[in-house]
Amino acid sequence: MNRYLLITLLFLFSPSILAEETTNNECKPLVEINIEWQTLRIRPHENAFLNCTVSREQYNELIRGALENPADKQANFKSLFMGRLIDHPWISKFLAMQALDHEGWDAEKGQPKAGDMNSFVRKLLSFPELLKQIQEPFIGTGYTVIGASIEKVLVAKANEIKWLEINEPVLVPYDAMVHYILKKHEDD
């Protein structure tokens, strides 16, 4: 029985399966707002069973739209939960490319040369170049994106993940659960 469970898990988490991009025009990404928990949460679709992704343009529109509500302007959000990076191929690709270019990444072993995986990925996803992109829809809202919090990093062969556009079988981090930490300016 354990063998069947293992086969099922391998099937569910296979990067090859994830490489297939959805062309479903039915995808309706949204932002869930939880004032009590002080969080914003991006979901690629209201139906969790559809395979949808969120582009950078959609991300910008979602955040801007979510923060237009006057009631939400009174909130003090502390976190933006992006969910899984596979739902945001543009960030997933940034992560993989940065890891490959980083002297501290071992592409053969699929791990940092020193330190733990979560810390390594957190640093890459907190690079100013990416934070500027994550910050873009927050401009004028009084919020600053100050860094990332990471858990459950997944590594796979880059050539098995279509959106990475890497043809080599090198191992790269491509998925994780990501929270961006928000700070609201006191004078806003």
**Contact call for residues 92 and 175 (beta carbons, < 8 A):** yes
For strand 79-84 and strand 39-43, is the pairing parallel, antiparallel, or unpaired? parallel
- The 3-state DSSP class for residue 97 equals helix
Q: How confident is the model at residue 79 (pLDDT cuts 50, 70, 90)?
A: very high
Phi/psi for 2 (5° steps) reads -65, -30
Residue type at position 152: K
With 0-12 / 13-18 / 19 or more C-beta atoms within 10 angstroms meaning exposed / middle / buried, residue 141 is buried
| pLDDT tens-place string over residues 121-180 | 999 999 999 999 999 999 988 899 999 999 999 999 999 988 888 888 899 999 999 999
* Rounded Cα–Cα distance for residues 148 and 126 (Å): 6
Q: In degrees, to the nearest 5, what angle opens at C-alpha 76 toward C-alphas 73 and 82?
A: 95
How far apart (Å, rounded) are the C-alpha atoms in residues 90 and 44? 13
For residue 186, pLDDT beyond 50: yes
pTM of the model: 0.82
What distance in Å separates the CA atoms of residue 157 and residue 83, rounded to the nearest whole number? 21
Span of 1-10, 35-44, 60-69 with lowest mean pLDDT: 1-10
Identity of the amino acid at 129: E
Tell me which DSSP letter residue 160 carries: G
Q: So what's the pLDDT on residue 46?
A: 78
The most distant pair of C-alpha atoms in the chain lies apart, rounded to whole Å, by 60
- % of residues, the chain, pLDDT over 70: 83
pLDDT at 59 over 70: yes
CA distances from 44 to 1, 49, 159 (A): 34, 10, 24
The tokens describing 178, both together, are 């990501």
- Convert the pLDDT of each residue in 15-28 to its tens digit: 443 434 444 568 89
Looking at residue 10, its pLDDT comes to 38
Centroid of chain to Cα 162? 16
Tell me what pLDDT residue 165 has: 85
At residue 34, the pLDDT reads 87
What proportion of the chain, given as a percentage, has pLDDT over 90?
Answer: 61
In this predicted model, which residue has the larger pLDDT, 103 or 164? Answer: 103
Higher pLDDT, 69 or 140: 140
